[in-house]
Amino acid sequence: MKKDYLMTDLFAQFIKASKLGYRRKQDGNKIKPQTIENYTYVLKLIQDFENDCNKSIRIRSVSGLQARQLKVEMNYWKRFYTQFSDYLFKVKGCYDNYVGHVFKILRVFFNFLEKEKMIQVNLFKTHFYVRKEEVGIVTLMPEQLRFLIFDKTFEETLLKSLRTTKDVFVFGCTTGLRCSDIFNLRFRDIVQQESHYYLAMRAVKTGVITRVKLPPYIIDIVSKRRRNKSDSSKIFTPISNVQFNKNIRKLAECAGWTHIVGKQRSRNGVQVEQINCTIKKTYRFCDLLSSHTMRRTAITNMLMLGMSEQVVRNISGHSPKSTSFYRYVNFAQTYIDSEINKMHERMQPVG
C-alpha cells in the first residue's frame, strides 16, 4: 500500500534534526545556525505556496511502484518544479540565484529523506535544477581605498558615527575579514612580534584560522580604541548589519562616489534592470556598497597589486577549486589589463 507524507511535516523534521545535531555535515560538524535559518525560510516559502495555490505537496516513496506509477511520480515532481519556480519568480519576485539556492536546499532535503527516513525519492531531485546568475562584483579601487585611509581633511567632515564606520570599513577592506568576524574581534586577537603586528583568529563562518600581518594605519585604528580596555574587550562596538550598510552607503556618498553604474539581475534567464527604491532612480556606485564590499575589496586589491593567488587564498580562506574566488581573479585581471594598456599608450611615438 502506498503511503503519502506531507512535505511540510517532513521538512520540519529535517530542520529539527539539523538543530539538535542528529543531522550533521559530511565532516561531522554541526549544521551552522545560518544554514538552519535558510532552511526555515524555504519551509515558509513552501507553506506560502501551498496556501496561495490551495494545495498540499505530498511525498511518496518509489519503493514497490510499478513502471506506470513511477512515471506518474516523475511527472508530479516535474510539475512541482515548474509551478514552484514560477511562484518564486512571479509572486515572490525572486531572482535566479535565490531560486537556485531554494532548490539546492530541496535537493539536500531529499537526500535526508533517503538516508535518514528511508523514503526513496532521490530519483526525483534530478529535476530540481539549480539556477545561477553571474552578479557583478562591486569593490573599491586601490585609489579609493587610499582616499579613505589617508585623507584626513575628508575624515574631519564626517559625523562621529561615519568616522567609526570608515574605520571598520577600512579594517575589513585591508584584512578581508567578514563583517561577523570584525565585530567579534578582541584586542587579544592582535599579536605583536618584535616590531610587527599580526591578526590571529578563527573565522566564525568557516572555522578557518586567519593570520595576517597588519599595516601601521590599521594599528592606529586599533590603538585609538584601546585606552584602558582589557584584552578581552571587543575592538569595535557591534551594530546591526542593516545600519552598518546604511552607514557605508552614506560614507561613500559623502566621498562623492555617486556616478551611475546600474544594477541588473536575472529572473528566469531574463535580465532585469533594477531601480533603487529609496531614491527612485538607477543605482549609483555608493548605493551598491555593503559589508560584503570589504572582503571583495581586500581580495581584489591584493590580486591587483601583485599578490599571488595562493597567498590570497590562504588569507581569504577560499579553497583551490572555489569558483567565487576566480570571479575576483578575472575582475582583477581586467583592471591590470587596463593599467597595462595605459602604459602601452604612453609608450607610443609622439606625433
The domain segmentation of the chain, as residue ranges, is 4-127, 142-177+237-341
Q: What is the pTM (predicted TM-score) of this model?
A: 0.75
Q: Please tell me which residue, 132 or 343, carries the higher pLDDT value.
A: 132
Strand 209-213: give its sheet, edge to edge. Answer: 190-193, 196-202, 209-213
Distances 232 to 178, 186, 227 between C-alpha atoms, Å? 20, 6, 13
Q: What percent of the chain clears pLDDT 90, i.e. is strictly above it?
A: 57
For residue 251, the model assigns a pLDDT of 98
* SS3 assignment, position 187: helix
The top-scoring range by mean pLDDT among 6-20, 130-144, 256-270 is 6-20
For residue 273, the model assigns a pLDDT of 84
- Residues 147-178 pLDDT 10s: 999 999 999 999 999 999 999 999 999 998 88
The arithmetic mean of pLDDT across residues 100-122, rounded, is 94
Q: What percent of the chain clears pLDDT 70, i.e. is strictly above it?
A: 91
Residue type, 103: F
* SS3 assignment, position 316: helix
For residue 146, the model assigns a pLDDT of 95
Q: Which three cell numbers stand for residue 313?
A: 587564498
For residue 195, the model assigns a pLDDT of 87
For residue 135, the model assigns a pLDDT of 78
Enumerate residues 6+ apart whose C-beta is below 8 A from 98. 88
Which band of pLDDT confidence, cut at 50, 70 and 90, is reported for residue 109?
Answer: very high
Output helix, strand, coil percentages for the chain, rounded to the nearest 5: 55, 10, 35
Cβ contact 82:121 at 8 Å: no
